[in-house]
Every structure is written in structure tokens, then in C-alpha cells.
Amino acid sequence: MRILIAEDDEVLSDGLCHSMRQSGYAVDCVKDGHSANLILSGEQPFDLVILDLGLPKVDGFSVLRSLREKNRQVPVIILTARDAEGDRVKGLDLGADDYMIKPFSLPELEARVRALIRRGQCGVNPVYSCGTLTFDSVGRRASINGTTLELTTRELSVLEALMLRTGWVVSKEQLLERLYSYAEEASNNAIEVYIHRLRKKIEPAGVTIRTIRGLGYVINDLPS
């Protein structure tokens, strides 16, 4: 899951980015509306946007309007100090899915993020299985026969990407996009480390991650 945070308060932005990454999301952060428009116009899809209204260069209302005019249906949470009824009505009418007032409760924000992602998966089973291994994409939990696996947030993200396409090859580039924001440095070696760790942890489930040389990785049941 990938989230864009558009917030010009550097301390708040850094805190939100850290919190969301700790929860297992890949996060990109921008500090002005022009940058938000640019990144949202690109090819990288986002699963959710957290949007401040008082952004410099281009305000949050304009960013939201532009997003919806392009028919991008990514869920948007407005996070702002503007508590006037008129602002709330305008934001929701422009297509925001939720509106939160600063100061806010971080656990509540995270709960609303999960709720919107869950809503976006309506009609799609958020729990994926391979052998006796299951992955809950909303609860961010992997288990074998009901026993939760102890995985790091990056290991969870790699496993999620593979299980979303069970039986199909997932390239290193696709994994890197899911794990790292544009601002973070990453290497193919990091992916190999996560794959190595995951193989050991999921082996009891009768599941393997095969390396397809030159292409990427594929997760499958082991032949019985």
C-alpha cells in the first residue's frame, strides 16, 4: 500500500511519514500543492492521499479538484486546521472521502486510513492465501494456520506484493516501488535480503519463493 502525504508543516509531515511507514505503508511526502499535483499526475498509483488545505503554491482544494477532474478515485483524507463548516462542506463536495481537524489523534487517523483502504477494496477479498500461509492486507498480518508470523514492515510489504500475484512473476523494480518512496535510496541487494528472510519464515507453510533469473520472484505452493 502506498500513501501520499501533502503537508507543509515539516515536523508534522515527518511525524506522519514515520508513523505510516512504521505501519507498513510506502510513503511519499510533499510540502506544497504544485509538487502534489505533479506526483499525482504521474504513473505511480497511490492507495490513499492525506491532504492539507493550506499548502503553498497551490492550495489543497485546487489539488483535490484537479485530482477528481482527472477522474482519479484514490481516497483522500483532508487534514487541516480549518474547522469552518463551509470549508468542510467544500472539501467533501469536491470529492474528499474524510475530513479531520487539527489537532488530531494519530490512532484515529490511522484507523480512518485503514477504513478507507478497506472501503476501496470493497468487493475484493482483502485476505490472500497460498498453501497454509494467509495475508490480511488491511490488518497487515501474515499467519500460518492461524499463528501470526513475526515479520518486519518491509518483509510484510514484500510478502504482500508477492501474494497479490501468487503464481505470477513480480520484478525487483515492482518490489522497490512498493517498499520505498522517491526520496529513499534503495538497492536490489535489499530485496534479496528480504526474500532470503521470508523464505525461511514461510517454509513451514509449504510455500516457496522462486527466483526467476532476470525477471524477478514468484510465490507458489510447494508440490506435494
Q: What is the 3-state secondary structure (H, E, C) of 31-54?
A: CCHHHHHHHHCCCCCCCEEEECCC
Q: Which residue has the higher pLDDT, 81 or 21?
A: 81
Q: Is the domain of 108 the same as that of 31?
A: yes
- The model's pLDDT over 68-97, given as tens digits with 9 standing for 90+, comes to 998 788 899 999 999 999 999 999 999 999
Residue 53: pLDDT over 60: yes
Q: Is the domain of 105 the same as that of 138?
A: no
Question: Which amino acid does the sequence have at 62?
Answer: S
**In a 10 Å sphere around its CB, with 0-12 CB exposed, 13-18 middle and 19+ buried, how is residue 196 labelled?**
exposed
> Could you say which of 70, 91, 120 is where a domain stops?
120
**77 touches 64 (CB < 8 A):** no
CATH number at residue 22: 3.40.50.2300
Residue 43: pLDDT over 90: no
Mean pLDDT over 22-44 rounds to 88
Q: Which residue has the higher pLDDT, 42 or 39?
A: 39
Is the whole model's pTM more than 0.85, yes or no? no
Q: Is the domain of 114 the same as that of 8?
A: yes
Pairing of strands 2-6, 48-51: parallel
**Containing structural domain, residue 205:** 127-221
The pLDDT, as a whole number, for residue 188 is 63
Q: Is the domain of 16 the same as that of 105?
A: yes
Q: Is the domain of 23 the same as that of 115?
A: yes
CATH number at residue 195: 1.10.10.10
Q: Is the domain of 155 the same as that of 210?
A: yes
Q: How many domains in the chain?
A: 2
Q: Is the domain of 142 the same as that of 89?
A: no
What is the band of 146 on the pLDDT scale with cuts at 50, 70, 90?
A: confident
Alpha helices in the chain (DSSP H): 10-22, 33-40, 60-69, 85-93, 106-120, 153-163, 172-179, 188-202
Q: Is the domain of 42 the same as that of 147?
A: no
Q: Is the domain of 26 the same as that of 102?
A: yes
Instruction: Give the dihedral sign, CA 87/88/94/97.
Output: positive
> Could you say which of 60, 87, 120 is where a domain stops?
120
> Could you say which of 120, 142, 173 is where a domain stops?
120
Q: Is the domain of 6 the same as that of 109?
A: yes
Question: Which amino acid does the sequence have at 184?
Answer: E
Q: At what angle do helices 10-22 and 106-120 cross, to 10 degrees?
A: 60
Question: Which amino acid does the sequence have at 220?
Answer: N
**21 touches 153 (CB < 8 A):** yes
What is the band of 141 on the pLDDT scale with cuts at 50, 70, 90?
A: confident
Q: Is the domain of 199 the same as that of 94?
A: no
Q: Is the domain of 75 the same as that of 103?
A: yes
